[in-house]
Structure 1
Amino acid sequence: MIKLVVTDLDGTFLNNKGLFDIELFNNVHSEMQKQGMTFVACTGKQCERVEKLFGEHGKGIWVLGDSAARIKKDGEVVKEFSIDRELALQSIETIQRFAPDMTLIVCASDAAYVHSSIPGEMYNVVKSSYEQVKKIDSFQEIDSRFIKITVYDTEERSSALRKHVEKTLGGQIYIVDSEPKWLDITALHTHKGETVKKLQELLGVTYEETMSFGDGENDVELMAIAKYSFAVSNACENTKKAARFITKSNEENGVLLTIQDCMDLQKNVN
């Protein structure tokens, strides 16, 4: 019996406009609760941005946000996995030396920080994924815990940047270029797969009782923690290869319809 459903958001659960079918979600989530199933949003987005996205419809869901470096439920922080301060600052310096024109988003325990010189259009991009954003003249001024470092690059150099950072900091951090424009750095061994494992332990749920959904390079680990792992049809090839099943695309409500089908099967079995 499925007890835990974990889904990525952008490109997986959300459509290409960054939205989801609220009526269908409410119906599916209501039935999930009746069947004792837990819904988890696992995403690079800031937890608070996810909470705003779901609004009143998000009661009872778990949020593994900031690239799974933070765990929240119903507005309360359950766990955070921080990066050593000096290691975080060294990562930032390495990125800035590689390409100072890239947009840096430094996520801390209290907010996401961007440089005060950030252009308006880039700030709008940041706000699409981060609810609490502060501008700062130097990232060294941040006095709260470092959670994640994200890079957004319109020139799509994330793969080259990852290789550059790994030459200096490889083995000390977790780094993934989830898309050509996006790169994330978290503490070593902190990624979607490991954080879901911690949640499984917390909730007493097994691999055999878990279902997962994803589309991007940073969802490959998400496919390994669930017996019922699904890549949406628009997913990258590596995620499709890692998944046991392929379902409909994010534009076709693939996640919600698959959950619905699974619950129908479970009702028939029971």
Structure 2
Amino acid sequence: MIKLVVTDLDGTFLNNQSSFDRELFQSVYARMKQQGIAFAACTGKQCERVEKLFEDVGEGIWILGDSATRIKRDGQLIREFTLERELAQQAIRLITEFDPQLTIIACTSDSAYVHSSIDPAIYDIVKGSYQQVIQVDQLEQIDTPFIKLTVYDPWERSTALREHIEHSMLGQIYIVDSEARWLDITELHTHKGETVRRLQEMLGVSMAETMSFGDGENDIELMGVAEYSFAVRNACENTKQAAQFITRSNEENGVLLTLDKMLSLQALRQSIS
């Protein structure tokens, strides 16, 4: 019996317009709640951005946001995993050394911070994932605890940047180049898989009772914490190899249609038993 469904958002649950079929979701989510199944969005997006995304249709949804560094539900912060300040500052120096033109998004509990010189077009891209964004002259002036760093590179060098940072910081932080243009840095061992395991413990749900969906490199750990792990058809090859199953693409409502079938099968099984 499935008791927990966890899905990545961008490229997985959301279509290429960063939206989803709200009518279908409401139907599927209502049936999930009837069957006592928890639903979690596990994403690099800021928790508050996810709350806005599911506004009016997402009561009771678990949000594992900000690259799984925060757990929220119905506006309440449940858990948070911070990145040591000196490690964050060291990573910022290494990123700047690699290319001072890269966009660094320094995230705290209250906001995402970017440099005031950010290009307006890139700022719009940042706002697609972050509801609360503050521009500052120096990232060093941020005086609240960091939860993660994200780097946006329009020149698609995130793998080279990861290798550059790892040369000095391997084993001190968790770092993943989720896509060619995006790289995330969090506390060591803080990633989607580990945060889902913490949620499973909180809910008393086992791996055998969990279903997960993903598409990117940062979803590989997500495939390892669910017996029923699905990569969408548009997923990267490494995630497909880590998944138990392949479903339709994000443009074809792969997550919701798979859930719709699962709910029907589970209801049939319950009626027979």
TM range (shorter): over 0.9
Structure 1 residue 145 displacement after superposition: 1.0
Q: Deviations over 1:157-185 (max 9, x none)?
A: 10000000000111000000000000000
Q: 2:156 is matched with which residue?
A: 156
Alignment of 1:191-230 (within 5 A): 191-230=191-230
Please state if 1:258 is matched with 2:245: no
What is the DSSP-based 3-state SS (H/G/I as helix, E as strand, rest coil) of the residue aligned with 1:16? coil
Q: 1:20 is matched with which residue?
A: 20
Q: Deviations over 1:45-103 (max 9, x none)?
A: 00000000110111100000010001000011101100001111111111001111111
Q: Deviations over 1:221-265 (max 9, x none)?
A: 000000000000000000000000000000110001111111101
| AA in 2 matched with 1:102 | L
| AA in 2 matched with 1:50 | V
Q: 1:130 is matched with which residue?
A: 130
- TM-score normalized by the length of structure 2: 0.98
Distance 2:144 2:78 in 1: 17
Alignment of 1:29-178 (within 5 A): 29-178=29-178
Q: 1:242 is matched with which residue?
A: 242
Distance 2:61 2:3 in 1: 13
What is the DSSP-based 3-state SS (H/G/I as helix, E as strand, rest coil) of the residue aligned with 2:151? strand
Structure 1 residue 140 displacement after superposition: 1.1
Structure 1 residue 108 displacement after superposition: 0.7
Distance 2:18 2:109 in 1: 25
Q: How many residues align?
A: 270
Distance 2:87 2:205 in 1: 34
Unaligned runs of 5+ in 2: none
Distance 1:210 1:8 in 2: 14
Structure 1 residue 119 displacement after superposition: 1.0
| AA in 2 matched with 1:224 | G
Structure 1 residue 109 displacement after superposition: 1.2
| AA in 2 matched with 1:176 | V
Q: 2:269 is matched with which residue?
A: 269
Cα root mean square deviation, aligned:
0.5
Distance 1:159 1:86 in 2: 23
Q: Deviations over 1:197-234 (max 9, x none)?
A: 00000000000000000000000000000000000000
Unaligned runs of 5+ in 1: none
| AA in 1 matched with 2:165 | V
